[in-house]
Amino acid sequence: KNEVEQSPQNLTAQEGEFITINCSYSVGISALHWLQQHPGGGIVSLFMLSSGKKKHGRLIATINIQEKHSSLHITASHPRDSAVYICAAVEDTDKLIFGTGTRLQVFP
């Protein structure tokens, strides 16, 4: 069974800092999904990637298939980035294995 681990579990930052959240998985996957869960509980999909790098605004996601590792970077962090960031390994069709999330707090 695929094990998905995220680090760190909790992260605090000052506004403007560069943030990195890591995700590793144990078994080969077809894709890696990054999601954001707002303090109110809503979950939003950020990225789905199977290779290389994707960028959306200040968010960058990378994946290294050989090392079974993905990172989510936030440049110029802002308090509104405060949320729980979740990665999920996409094994097949609709079968996702979720990490436990990284709670990020960005202070002004």
Question: Residue 108, interface with other proteins (CB under 8 A)?
Answer: no
CA distance 69 to 15: 26
Contact range with other proteins by CB under 8 A, out of 10-18, 20-28, 43-51, 72-80: 43-51
**Among 60, 67, 68, 61, which Cα is nearest to 29's?**
68
Nearest distance from C-beta of residue 97 to other proteins, angstroms: 7
User: Which amino acid, one-letter code, is at 92?
Assistant: D
CA distance 2 to 52: 21
Question: Residue 7, interface with other proteins (CB under 8 A)?
Answer: no
Question: Residue 64, interface with other proteins (CB under 8 A)?
Answer: no
Nearest distance from C-beta of residue 61 to other proteins, angstroms: 13
CA distance 105 to 91: 30
SS3 category, 9:
coil
From 19, 61, 88, 106, residue interacting with other proteins (rule: CB under 8 A): 88
Interface positions with other proteins (CB under 8 A): 4, 30-31, 33, 35, 41-45, 48, 50, 86, 88, 90, 93-101
